[in-house]
A = this chain, B = another copy of it.
Amino acid sequence: MKKFINDPADVLAEALRGIQAAHPDLRVDLDDRVIYRGDATRAGKVALVSGGGSGHEPMHGGFVGVGMLDAACAGEVFTSPTPDQMLAATKAVDSGAGVLHIVKNYTGDVLNFEMAAELAAAEGIRVESVVVADDVAVQDSLYTAGRRGVGTTVVLEKIVGAAAEEGADLDAILALAQRVSENGRSMGVALTSCTVPAAGKPTFDLPEDEMEVGVGIHGEPGRRRVPLASAAEIAKLLVDPILADFDATGPAIVLLSGLGGTPLIEQYLMFGEIAPLLERGGVEVKRSLVGDYITSLDMAGIALTVVKADDEMLRLWDAPVVTPGLRWGA
């Protein structure tokens, strides 16, 4: 295992120190392992809390800031944060207008966020939750009942974050979050495994001439292994299952995320293959993002996310955002 680490047990704690050093406008609670906006939640603003296992950076901590999340709880690598972390974050950011929990559909995340919501409710904080389950690759998986939650989470955090900044109330925020969630679909592919620091070896073996189609962001098995294919063929393997899964015609926000070990030149090359396929399928690519936004440690791979977007969603997408991972317009 070749990694820039000290003791594998300290990876998360030390990475959080680096985030703190690099982003003085964020507040990093090193004990609770929560990343907060530097400023307190404005009175009347719904607060947004997300979180999950680490190893997917910049998600979620990199999406904390103006126009996106108020706090993100970081679990150990590929491990759910605890209800205590989520409760601490929820209490810290609530300004009285309530809190939305944005949860990716992994069993540990879902259960822990549910418990945190109950504990917060017992303290008089109104909490609603949205669970993102957008990965069309497989039904049920290693850590998940139902579909896994992946890239739509990034788009949702941006859009809902803008609505919260504008002063929408919790009911409206929840409805919007559900609308984004229902309109997003994702599909990924891996050329290599990732290596979890604590494990010290690749999560799975993938021969030099094969790839995993529909891989999960923790290295969960996908739909099938197939021989390594050309970029053009891989683009079809990502686009077709998404278009087969729902009526994707109309305006959309498209995210092509590298999984951590894939250079940007390859990501752009893939986007050049994918965009025309989407357009041919009736998707109007109104906005796009190409880069590492939801990753799987050092995995060489990419994941495509298509979110059908109405005018309100596009407007909120374009609203200012100031976070380490996404920043524009302010």
Q: How far is the CA of A179 from the CA of B290 in the complex (A)?
A: 33
CB nearest to A208 among chain B residues: B2
Are the C-beta atoms of B15 and A57 separated by less than 8 Å?
no
Contacts of A271 in B (CB 8 A): 18, 21-22
Interface string of A205-225 (1 = CB under 8 A from B): 000100100000000000000
A191 at the interface (CB under 8 A from B): yes
A270 with B4, Cβ < 8 A, contacts A263-B260, A264-B62 known: yes
CB distance from A259 to the nearest CB of B (A): 9
A321 CB to closest chain B CB (Å) equals 10
Most chain B CB within 10 A, of A6, A18, A230, A275, is at A18
With A21-B275, A272-B17 already in contact, the answer to whether A5 and B264 are too (CB < 8 A) is no
Chain B residue nearest to A295 (CB atoms) is: B263
From A232, A269, A270, A328, name the one whose CB has the most chain B CB atoms within 10 angstroms.
Answer: A269
A204 is an interface residue with CB less than 8 A from chain B: no
Residues of chain A in range 29-83 having any CB-CB distance to chain B below 8 Å = 54-55, 57-58, 62, 77
Contacts of A57 in B (CB 8 A): 263-265, 268
A153-197 residues with Cβ-Cβ distance < 8 A to B are: 191-192
Partner of A261, one of B6, B19, B263, B330: B263
Cβ–Cβ < 8 Å partners of A77 in chain B: 265
Q: Is A94 an interface residue (CB 8 A)?
A: no
With A4-B191, A260-B263, A298-B262 as known contacts, state yes or no: A21 contacts B270, CB within 8 Å: no
Minimal beta-carbon separation of A166 from chain B (angstroms): 20
Contact string against B for A residues 10-27, beta-carbon threshold 8 Å, 1 for contact and 0 otherwise: 010011111111100000
The reply to whether B19 and A268 contact each other, CB–CB distance below 8 Å, is yes
The secondary structure that dominates the A interface is mixed
The interface size bin for chain A is 35 or more
Partner of A269, one of B5, B234, B270, B289: B5
Cβ of A231 within 8 Å of any chain B Cβ, yes or no, is yes
Answer whether residue A3 sits at the interface, using C-beta atoms and an 8 A cutoff.
yes
- Assess whether A86 is interfacial by the CB under 8 Å rule: no
Contact of A261 with B298 in the complex, beta carbons under 8 Å = yes
**A115 interface residue per 8 A CB criterion:** no
Q: Min CB distance, A294 to chain B, in Å?
A: 11
Within 8 A of B (CB), among A303-324: 322
Q: Does A266 contact B (CB under 8 A)?
A: yes
Residue contact A269 to B15, C-beta cutoff 8 Å: yes
Distance of A11 Cα from B272 Cα, bound (Å): 11
25 sampled A-B residue pairs with Cβ under 8 A: A2-B192, A2-B211, A3-B191, A3-B266, A4-B191, A4-B234, A4-B270, A5-B231, A11-B265, A11-B269, A18-B268, A19-B268, A21-B271, A21-B272, A21-B285, A21-B288, A22-B271, A22-B290, A55-B263, A55-B265, A57-B264, A62-B264, A263-B295, A263-B298, A292-B292
